[in-house]
Amino acid sequence: MRILMISDVYFPRINGVSTSIQTFRRGLHAAGHETLLVAPEYPTEYSDAGQEPIIRVPSRYLPRDPEDRILRQGALRSLRSELKRGGFDLVHVQTPFIAHYYGVSVARELGVPVIETYHTYFEEYLHHYVPLIPRSVMRFVARRFTVSQCSALDALVVPSMAMQKALEDYGVRCPMHIIPTGMEMERFANGDGRRFRERLGIPADRPTLVHVGRIAHEKNIDFLLRMFVRLVKRKPQAMLVVAGEGPALEHCKSYVESLQLSANVRFVGYLSRERELPDCYNAGDLFVFSSKTETQGLVLLEAMACGTPVVSTAYMGTADIVKPERGARVAPDDEEGFANLVVELLNDPDRRRVMSAEARTYASTWSAGATATRMAELYSSLIAGEGKQLAA
């Protein structure tokens, strides 16, 4: 099969969407399928060498979100003739912005099926970026926007049962398929937590929690910081390492100062996935998480692949990962209860060792090869069925 993927975001922009695209493309390529990705250019230098084929499209600045870009319409139009000669069997859209409308248009022009992956829970996302409009209005807009877009698709991929249920409640009637992003276990096999601690000057015996993810308001990091205040009262030497960047970074740094946690919290920015990120995960005694908007929660699986036990609340996609409590514990959604659970585990190294082994085993069941196979099977069924109807 030859698949055209289109996205408004990709590396060097680090987030779950970029990771998902890369992971699936590698898995599909390993199974003998071809993919071509259309993605934005970024002002920062980044090499696509060694990756599956990518067409970079000129893009422009996105107001209120300096990390992201808007694909330029003129540049996309100029690609039409090249894509029409590409021999694609299906179009897979990855984001619901310019890429969605362009991808649907190209698919209809080519007479091939079009599917989309629903990566982001926009109902709990948009109000953070358009604060002057009431939250209830933005929730309504997000739902109507989603239903409208999904009606143009032949199928929708969702990463979790919770996301499928939410979309059904919206009124989405497009056929949905639960296919989570898989884990490339080998990428997290050789993390060196000691090396990471030494680089940051964190003693080997200092209790350390790790949080990895985009530092954005919808990630609920303020909750973790308030929880950490309670933890530090009982374990004054506890350290929290926060990896990532994003629009809420300065807010979080200021909040740390106001909570008098500056000696106990380290912000370490973006980390390379090849070495620094596995080292960071391995440096933690526990991985902590409290976002309520994750459609899957890839960072939880990455931590577990490194053998780092997870303590997290269970909302949306994270529930699928943590509720079995294999290498993870479901935390209460209140700061005191969350802190109590963390203290309990920090005080029980034997239990953490058991959880570490469980975590690695459980993460391996989310193999990238298996999920790529499921995606390829969906592609094949659409090409054989709906694709023929479209071309008729």
When pLDDT is averaged across residues 27-37 and rounded to a whole number, the result is 96
Residue 20 neighbours by CB under 8 Å, 6+ apart = 94, 117, 119, 159, 181, 298
User: Does the predicted TM-score (pTM) go above 0.85?
Assistant: no
Statement: residue 123 has pLDDT above 70: no
Give the model's pLDDT for residue 390.
Answer: 43
User: Counting runs of H as helices and runs of E as strands, what totals does the chain give?
Assistant: 15, 15
384 backbone dihedrals φ, ψ, rounded to 5°: -75, -30
pLDDT at 133: 57
User: Across all residues in the chain, what is the average pLDDT?
Assistant: 92
Mean of pLDDT values over 3-24: 93
Which pLDDT band, with edges at 50, 70 and 90, does 1 fall under?
A: very high
pLDDT of residue 130: 55
Using 50, 70 and 90 to split pLDDT, how confident is the model at 128? very low
For residue 137, what pLDDT band results from cuts at 50, 70 and 90?
Answer: low
- How high is the pLDDT of residue 62? 81
Query: Of the candidates 27, 44, 13, which has an alpha carbon nearest to the alpha carbon of residue 119?
Result: 13
Which pLDDT score, from 0 to 100, does residue 392 have? 35
Domains and CATH numbers, the chain: 2-182+368-391 (3.40.50.2000), 185-364 (3.40.50.2000)
Q: What share of the chain is helix, strand, coil (3-state, %, to 5)?
A: 45, 15, 35
pLDDT band at 141 (very low <50, low <70, confident <90, very high): confident
CA 288 vs CA 190, 331, 343: distances in Å: 21, 9, 12
